[in-house]
Structure 1
């Protein structure tokens, strides 16, 4: 097991972000399907969609509850609220497995048994074991403990070791959120992203992170076939952008508190800075 997790840098992230060219169209730039949000937590859909757009995609398709869809369109009217062609999926943010309908369960299972990459967040994490699609799971500490229990894994003191072990057992990429975010792939590859800012400890920032990761993966999937090992560096790039956007949002706020939507709004500048180093 590789437990010597290294860091992830701006140059690492820049290598995986493709700047659009004059020959691109909305499909070649990447299409992310998003099935998130609920009647109780519709804002999660807005935050994930906003983050995906700001990270740089040709299209975002949202499929979810009517109230969430209305809020998404109010914030981002360019979003397509209909199913269709996608190069990656984001599922689970702002949902609760205990409230999942049979229709939702069938839809999520269909996505997870498909062929395109899937970012699995929050209320869909219980469906991750047994997925046929290449997946990235994005648990926080408590969610990670539950996922490990489902996999029959015992507690570990080292977060990096635990993330790698989970990735190996699940056959998926793991993004273990926290003050230090650990990204691990089934092969044992792992990186640790340093602490960004304590102001990130606020509601909704995990939804923004999931949207950023989904966007990076969809953009790459539009031009290359991805297996689960390829998702590790892409997920690390999404996490790097999220952290950089958070630092930018704090600076814009004069060093004070920020909201998840503030962080999402700074993703465009974080991406731009990688293409045009400051």
Structure 2
């Protein structure tokens, strides 16, 4: 199945700037349950990226070490539980190292009503989700996910088949990222720079996804596919802005997160 392209105009139709009547709650609240003692930086990257989308509030619920680093970088982050419009889970975690209490907490999130961005160490739980999901595997994670679902690893239109099996959105990350949804044509976006191939940029993408999902105000699959494609576009454009700021040289994940506002402004035409 041929993939659709995604343009700045498509992204602009998904985004909205703040109005005089907005407050932090109407701009969207994203809950983030990411990071671990082994990989606390993933929490910092995802939270930073979520804030940079223009979301109204980020709630971080994770290990103490990661929470301390998040607050040192972004002191406006709330570390108390409460109402959210979307969740981000799994970045910087491993299913092998997850304890029973954390598994129960993640399953509770996945059994809820709001959209959940499912990354990295939480992908093993996504098949049982009742919530609307946006799963974000890279190629190797996608192969493992398909194996767990009993799907042919060599099938044509594999991304669409996986999305149908999950009854959600699949963002298969790579130099060409495919955003698939059940009963919709896939959307394909090429990475605009190979400097994105560095540690932590996937955590940044997950944070952008969480922020946009929280601000979208809807959880139907059509909306979530458009949100996911727009997040991938913003991630790529932020990387391009970061590379330009470094005269074409290498960038790191925080550089991408720091340039998300420039990509948002570009999409909104401001």
Instruction: Give the TM-score of the pair, scaled to structure 2.
Output: 0.98
Report the Cα distance in structure 2 between the residues aligned to 1:127 and 1:228, rounded to whole angstroms.
19
Which deviates more, 267-276 or 45-54? Answer: 267-276
* Residue in 2 that maps onto 1:275: 268
Please state whether the residue corresponding to 1:193 is helix, strand or coil: strand
Counterparts of 1:121-136 in structure 2 under 5 Å? 121-136=119-134
Count residues with an aligned counterpart: 270
Question: RMSD of the TM alignment (CA)?
Answer: 1.0
Report the Cα distance in structure 2 between the residues aligned to 1:169 and 1:275, rounded to whole angstroms.
34
* Residue in 1 that maps onto 2:230: 237
Q: CA deviation at 1:157?
A: 6.4
* Residue in 2 that maps onto 1:89: 87
Please state whether the residue corresponding to 1:189 is helix, strand or coil: coil
Q: Check conservation: 1:173, 1:229, Cα contact below 8 A.
A: no
Unaligned runs of 5+ in 1: none
Instruction: Give the TM-score of the pair, scaled to structure 1.
Output: 0.95
Q: Check conservation: 2:170, 2:179, Cα contact below 8 A.
A: yes
**185, 188, 191: which one pairs with 1:189?**
185
Q: CA deviation at 1:274?
A: 1.4
Please state whether the residue corresponding to 1:129 is helix, strand or coil: helix
Which deviates more, 70-79 or 179-188? Answer: 179-188
Report the Cα distance in structure 1 between the residues aligned to 2:94 and 2:186, rounded to whole angstroms.
29
Report the Cα distance in structure 2 between the residues aligned to 1:37 and 1:49, rounded to whole angstroms.
10
Please state whether the residue corresponding to 2:114 is helix, strand or coil: coil
Report the Cα distance in structure 2 between the residues aligned to 1:171 and 1:189, rounded to whole angstroms.
14
**53, 57, 60: which one pairs with 1:62?**
60
**249, 255, 263: which one pairs with 2:248?**
255
Q: 1:73-122: per-residue Cα shift (whole Å, max 9, x none)?
A: 00000000111010000000000000111110010000000000000000
Unaligned runs of 5+ in 2: none
Q: Check conservation: 1:168, 1:188, Cα contact below 8 A.
A: no
* Residue in 1 that maps onto 2:158: 162
Q: CA deviation at 1:211?
A: 0.3
Counterparts of 1:1-278 in structure 2 under 5 Å? 3-156=1-154, 161-221=157-217, 225-276=218-269
Please state whether the residue corresponding to 2:259 is helix, strand or coil: helix
Q: CA deviation at 1:227?
A: 1.8
Please state whether the residue corresponding to 2:128 is helix, strand or coil: coil
Q: Check conservation: 2:118, 2:133, Cα contact below 8 A.
A: yes
Q: Check conservation: 2:119, 2:137, Cα contact below 8 A.
A: yes
Q: Check conservation: 2:159, 2:180, Cα contact below 8 A.
A: yes
